[in-house]
Amino acid sequence: MKKSRLLVAGVALAVSTSTVALAAPKKDTVYVPLNVWTSVALNKGWLQEEYAKVGAKVEAVDTSAIKVPGVEASLLEKGELHFVNCMGYVSIQHKLNGLDSVAVWGSKLPNPRRSTTVVLKDSPANKLADLKGKNLGGWRISCPYFATYEALKEHGVQQDTEYQKGDVRYTNIAPAAQISALLGGKIDALSVHAATSTVTPLYTQGLVKELEPTSTKSTYVNGAGRSIIFTLREFAEKHPDRVRPFLVAYERSQKWIKANPDAAAAIAARDLRIPKHIAKYQIVDDSQMLFSDPERDRNRIIASYNLFQSWGIKNGDDFLKKKNLNQKQLEAFVDQKFFAGGEYVPK
């Protein structure tokens, strides 16, 4: 098995290019995802500082080096990763697919551009209605899927689902192949997060244009698009003292990164092996996914889940119609310990 280890500020970054299996996890170590904010937090020593208070070490895992969609769930179950940063819709999909997880942090509502739909710059399509009869690509287990599906419905356009043929064909494409499919003309449009290392170059190089985003009143903006951090229920129950340091370091890092985007981008660019302007885009653009303010009110997070689940079931989301969480399950999913009034809320 081919493995490599990269060092950032004295912290080993576990990278595997051939398999999801990494070295056997160490009991005294917490494994965090490598992304823009954790890169900065590790370089500044903030994650190490917080975990030292509870007698633990911290290592970052570069999940982007493992070209397997949804690999985070597998790593969580193996103990090779302890946290996932994602959006509300994806957090529920993992839960409904059998991952025994809990949400330990949620954000305020996102900008509508967090997920959007793009076409090539020279495409004749200028609005979502222009996609009728066209082929839309995306990844089904993703937030952009839900956002585009809802935005199309808002404009009177039905996308293909398992239950009905729509006005727009839908092609499920793994993230690693999406860009080449769009540039090569295999699909006409793509549902995306603009603030990702693979998609941002399409913007910075002027290769794409956006169609209408979902509205500020949409269930995506008011529900599915919130930033969420989740972990395994077992980890949260047995080691809540190892969850809180991650959240404390996250919020500390957010403040510094937003105040110092150029310095933060320089750090992240080196560790993530991407150009500095790409890293900065992920910090300052409206579509950013990691730098929203926290929502301490657990009831608002639960209400958001209820909102987009109900909309999805009513409007033919072929995933949520098959599987969904009831009120009791949602309340158990959003872990009270880490929200307002809880013993381990970040302060």
> Does 174 have pLDDT greater than 70?
yes
- What is the predicted pLDDT for the residue at 26? 84
> Does 11 have pLDDT greater than 80?
no
Q: Which segments within 121-276 are labelled E, that is strand?
A: 135-138, 169-172, 189-192, 208-210, 227-232
**103 vs 112: CA distance, rounded Å:** 22
> Does 304 have pLDDT greater than 90?
yes
Domains and CATH numbers, the chain: 3-109+226-338 (3.40.190.10), 116-213 (3.40.190.10)
**225 vs 217: CA distance, rounded Å:** 12
**137 vs 192: CA distance, rounded Å:** 9
Mean pLDDT within 232-254: 98
Question: Who has greater pLDDT, 5 or 39?
Answer: 39
Q: Tokens in use for 261?
A: 């985007």
Mean pLDDT within 317-332: 95
Cβ contact 154:215 at 8 Å: yes
Mean pLDDT within 124-135: 97
Cα→Cα distances 25→28, 47, 82, 83, 238, Å:
9, 18, 11, 14, 17
Cβ contact 102:231 at 8 Å: yes
pLDDT-derived band at 30 (thresholds 50, 70, 90) equals: very high
> Does 22 have pLDDT greater than 70?
no
CB atoms within 10 A of CB 116: 25
pLDDT-derived band at 23 (thresholds 50, 70, 90) equals: low
Mean pLDDT within 189-218: 95
**319 vs 181: CA distance, rounded Å:** 24
- What is the predicted pLDDT for the residue at 2? 30
CB atoms within 10 A of CB 295: 20
Helices 240-259 and 261-272, axial angle in degrees (round to 10): 120
- What is the predicted pLDDT for the residue at 12? 35
Cβ contact 242:82 at 8 Å: yes
> Does 225 have pLDDT greater than 70?
yes
Nearest CA-CA partner of 15 in 62, 73, 83, 72: 62
Work out the burial of residue 158: count CB atoms within 10 Å of its CB; fewer than 13 is exposed, 13-18 middle, 19 or more buried: middle
- What is the predicted pLDDT for the residue at 25? 76
**204 vs 208: CA distance, rounded Å:** 9
* Beta sheet of 116-120, edge-to-edge order: 169-172, 135-138, 189-192, 116-120, 208-210
160 contacts: CB under 8 Å, gap ≥ 6: 166, 168, 169, 170
Cβ contact 320:330 at 8 Å: no
pLDDT-derived band at 27 (thresholds 50, 70, 90) equals: confident
pLDDT-derived band at 214 (thresholds 50, 70, 90) equals: confident
pLDDT-derived band at 163 (thresholds 50, 70, 90) equals: confident
